[in-house]
Structure 1
Amino acid sequence: MTNTKERLQKVIAQSGVTSRRKAEKLIVDGKVKVNGKVITELGTKVSTQDKIEVNGVRLEKEEPVYYLFYKPREVISSLKDDKGRTVVTDYLGDIPERIYPIGRLDYDTSGILLLTNDGTFANQLMHPRYEIDKIYVAKIKGIPTKKELQELKKGIHSNNELLKAVRYKVLETDKRKNATILEITLHEGKNRHIRRMMEELGYPVMKLKREKYGILDLQGLQPGNFRRLTPHEVKKMRHSATNENC
């Protein structure tokens, strides 16, 4: 943050406290103070000299950090869970910064999950306008026909939502076990996106893993491992998230 004034919700998001969208809700709900005064108007601008409090806690800007985590199955993509289940930050307890996941992976889905305290970066990667490939490998029950799989690209309706895949590839079929392994590429990730698509087609997912996120993959990592992104990786991902059709 520089001496020039910026929107309050952007400053909160950049601090790593939460996403910009949630920051906006905190402002509207009267949870944010600037110089001791409750602010409820979105678009309010602040500078580095202003004292900002969120839920009574003084905002301190952290240096941005970026992590790639190999999420195991049966781990919640959240900072806490009211049912006491394992969450992603249980694996990253030694990291001093207040990081949070960029998007989510389902409880039963493994693979790449990115975490950061840079709200602007997180919002860029999650924005549906930008077409960043997220590549999954799914093991499904049954052997769908080519015509059925083409529906993935056309779009499948589920609970009043249209779910689509960008690409798909059959990696393996096993007639003896009545199973198929598919590679499926998404640009957006709605709740249980792939599982819901395949359920609508009648081929439930038995196992699902996100193997690539843009230029990033899981090379060298085991489930539960994590590493920091290199400056080059951050730059490439940021470039992908600010250039359409990249």
Structure 2
Amino acid sequence: MERLQKVMAHAGVASRRKSEEIIAEGRVKVNGKVVTEMGFKVDPEKDEIIVDEEIISEEKKRYILLNKPEGYITTVSDPEGRPTVMDLIPDLKQRLYPAGRLDYDSSGLLIMTNDGDLTYKLTHPKKEVDKKYKVLAQGEVCQEDFEKFEAGMVIDGQKTAPAEISNINYKGDKTEFEIVIHEGRNRQVRRMCRIAGFSVISLQRIGFAFLTLDGVKEGDFRYLSDQEVVRLKKLA
């Protein structure tokens, strides 16, 4: 059983707060009876819920791949009024949530879904889902520095799992490389770079498990195919 306003929000009627207003206005019926009680609970699979004389259906699971630009918060809302990833998908009625995080000043691949079970499993460290990043660093990063990544580093008193380094390119006084991790601790790649002794100019997630950014421009998104969703669930 779930609160009525939560079911309405998940079905894409409105936000929870707006749904509460709709309930208070007497615009909602459950099994033929008007409900105005905020704490009223329903079974979305059994109860008939009508809003403004229209039956609302059970929430459909959505899965999208978003190419997040820098300067967006990876949350549904922000009390400081900063732009969030939800601003990039304004036409979707259902409320989606990010599976994992990308820092405000990082960009790249982000999975958005309303499948809470899959989100939990994909972000749990024990599942060891690979995440690939492209890093542009200030200075010439030497092999000894990269070996620190591959050996693991101590962050918050706990050693990280070995990272994989590839595609190293030196561009004047900068170094570009790709790194694969699967733990996803808070700002992990940036903190590892800091420990190794260099600063990050830009950080982009370019891979999540088998998914890539191919065909998705920065700021755009696409729906995952049924086959991709099945593969993700098998990973989880």
Q: State the TM-score bracket (shorter-chain normalisation).
A: 0.7 to 0.9
Cα 1:34/1:192, change in 2 over 3 Å: same
Which residue of 194, 197, 201 maps to 1:202? 197
Aligned match of 1:183: 178
- Answer with 1 or 2: which has the greater Rg: 2
Name the SS of the counterpart of 2:144 in structure 1.
Answer: helix
Residue deviations 1:120-163 (CA, integer Å, cap 9, x gap): 11112111111221110001112222222111122212343433
Q: Does 1:96 align with 2:93?
A: yes
State which drifts further: 158-167 or 105-114: 158-167
Q: How many residues align?
A: 199
Contact residue 16 and residue 118 of structure 1 kept, 8 A? no
Provide the C-alpha distance between the structure 2 equivalents of 1:182 and 1:161, rounded to a whole number of angstroms: 25
Provide the C-alpha distance between the structure 2 equivalents of 1:229 and 1:47, rounded to a whole number of angstroms: 25
Provide the C-alpha distance between the structure 1 equivalents of 2:94 and 2:41, rounded to a whole number of angstroms: 24
Provide the C-alpha distance between the structure 1 equivalents of 2:227 and 2:128, rounded to a whole number of angstroms: 20
Provide the C-alpha distance between the structure 1 equivalents of 2:10 and 2:153, rounded to a whole number of angstroms: 36
Provide the C-alpha distance between the structure 2 equivalents of 1:214 and 1:80, rounded to a whole number of angstroms: 27
Cα 1:60/1:215, change in 2 over 3 Å: same
Cα 1:33/1:163, change in 2 over 3 Å: farther
Q: Does 1:62 align with 2:59?
A: yes
Q: Does 1:226 align with 2:221?
A: yes
Contact residue 125 and residue 184 of structure 2 kept, 8 A? no
Provide the C-alpha distance between the structure 2 equivalents of 1:170 and 1:196, rounded to a whole number of angstroms: 20
Name the SS of the counterpart of 2:193 in structure 1.
Answer: helix
Provide the C-alpha distance between the structure 1 equivalents of 2:162 and 2:10, rounded to a whole number of angstroms: 31
Over the matched positions of the two proteins, sequence identity in percent amounts to 32
Provide the C-alpha distance between the structure 2 equivalents of 1:196 and 1:103, rounded to a whole number of angstroms: 17
Which TM-score applies when normalising by structure 2? 0.75
Give unpaired runs (5+ residues) of structure 2: 12-37, 49-55
Contact residue 152 and residue 163 of structure 2 kept, 8 A? no
Aligned match of 1:42: none
Aligned match of 1:151: 148
Aligned match of 1:136: 133
Provide the C-alpha distance between the structure 2 equivalents of 1:149 and 1:233, rounded to a whole number of angstroms: 32
Q: Does 1:237 align with 2:232?
A: yes
